[in-house]
Amino acid sequence: MVVGSLLSLGAEGSAVREAMRSVVGEPEIREVKRRGILALQVDTRAGEEERDLEEVLERVASAQASVVAREMAERIFRRIQEAEERIHGPPVHFHQVGADDAVAEVVGACVALDALRVDGVQILPVAVGRGTVRTAHGILPVPAPATAEILRGSSLAMIQGTAEGELCTPTGAAILAEFNTRRINPSGPTRVKAVGYGAGSRNDPESPNVLRSMLLETGMESPPDEVDILETNVDDVTGEILAYTLDRLMEAGARDASVVPLLMKKGRPAHLVRVICDPSRASALAALMATELGTLGIRHMQAVHRFVIERTVTPIEVAIGKDNRIIDVKCSWMDTTLLALKPEYEQCRAWAVDLGLPLRDVIRIVEAAAWSRIPTGGS
């Protein structure tokens, strides 16, 4: 249903077909009606063979798909594995979620989302259904234990809905949890650019068995006092890779990126990588963190309020000996009171090199000139 919905929304069909074909076989994609609504139904035409996690990941790694899509698919299956281990303990037997059709579904969904090139995804509350479901562990209440565990470990909200039976499987829950990257600000205008429907196999007499997706254009900037925070712990990354990743993150639009030393369980040394960014950049920066660091989980704290100090930049003409230059000075204000100032580093550095003076001396001279010329009681 996810693949069909994203294809209906406008994802490139040839790329999705090629990716699904490369891991299982040629899928069948056809238009059907569910309670009068036209939707795309995707049949992987896969067998019932079950595979363990390593076999699944080998299939995913060999898929004809972008690196972003393959890494996303791997995180989805590891998310399922972690949920299964919390319920049953190791070793994990994947049962239905390790079958070939699940591999094709996950890979196809990741390729479809990657092809849409969206800035982020918001998942509305997930209807899980009512009653019971038959599983490899017997008849269990809805949502199934793995589905409930995946939802618990995600930022997704859950509702039961009115339909009887299982409406959200563990595979579906893991896909939605991985895709959910942002929360859209409800205020301001939003334009619906496209709508897609993916069909389930049942034709429910009470309600349409479809998954709807919408491509939205908000056309608005995030409030200046709201940022998103991305965090992940890594214990197998070198200092060189960490430094390189920080540079990449800043080049890709992060407001700030930092690394903090940690001591993890069993005394293992590790690092916390933290990124502060505009909400519109969170999805792309999270993908970059996963790619460069190899991490399989990134915590995403959305719409975090930050206290913003008013800042201005004031050019100051400064003389050192016979050399005069204009240096930009960053000023921080509380109402009309000047709290702090800081000369532009690169300008001071270039001047220090040209004069052959210590950088700290140049900065001190510029700061003294700025404090003497900028009114400290008003901007």
Question: 286 phi and psi, to 5 degrees?
Answer: -65, -40
Domain 226-305 has CATH 3.30.70.1380: yes
Beta carbons within 8 Å of 123's beta carbon, 6+ residues apart? 156, 176, 177, 179, 180
**Candidate CATH numbers 3.10.20.300, 3.40.720.10, 3.30.450.40, 3.40.50.1220; the one for domain 310-373:** 3.10.20.300
Q: Among 92-106, 178-192, 296-310, which is the least confidently predicted range? A: 178-192
255-296 tens-digit pLDDT: 999 999 999 888 889 999 999 998 878 888 998 999 899 887
pLDDT of 177 reads 92
Distance of alpha carbon 354 from the chain centroid? 45
Q: Which of 180, 175, 43, 66 is nearest to 123 (CA)?
A: 180
Ramachandran quadrant class, 294 (left: phi over 0; alpha: psi -120 to 50; beta: rest): left
Whole-number Cα distances in Å, 331 to 226, 262, 372: 21, 34, 13
Instruction: Classify burial at 58, counting beta carbons within 10 Å of its beta carbon; exposed 0-12, middle 13-18, buried 19 or more.
Output: exposed
Q: Which of 50, 51, 74 is nearest to 62 (CA)?
A: 74
179-229 tens-digit pLDDT: 987 665 554 568 899 999 999 998 888 789 999 999 998 765 555 678 899
Which residue's entry shows tokens 């509350």? 125
For the chain, the distance separating the N- and C-terminal CA atoms, rounded to the nearest angstrom, is: 58
pLDDT class of 164 with cuts at 50, 70, 90: confident
- Supply angle C-alpha 243, 71, 284, rounded to 5: 60
The CB-side HSE value for 240 (13 A sphere, CA atoms) comes to: 0
Rounded CA separation 324/334 (Å): 31
Rounded CA separation 295/286 (Å): 10
What is the model's pTM? 0.61
Higher pLDDT, residue 43 or 335:
43
Length of the chain: 379
Whole-number Cα distances in Å, 187 to 62, 221, 223, 265: 43, 11, 11, 43
Q: Which of 165, 144, 140, 121 is nearest to 300 (CA)?
A: 121
29-41 tens-digit pLDDT: 999 999 999 999 9
**Can you give the residue ranges of every domain in the chain?**
2-217, 226-305, 310-373
Helix or strand holding residue 191 (H, E): strand 191-199
pLDDT of 203 reads 87
pLDDT class of 353 with cuts at 50, 70, 90: very high
Higher pLDDT, residue 189 or 111:
111
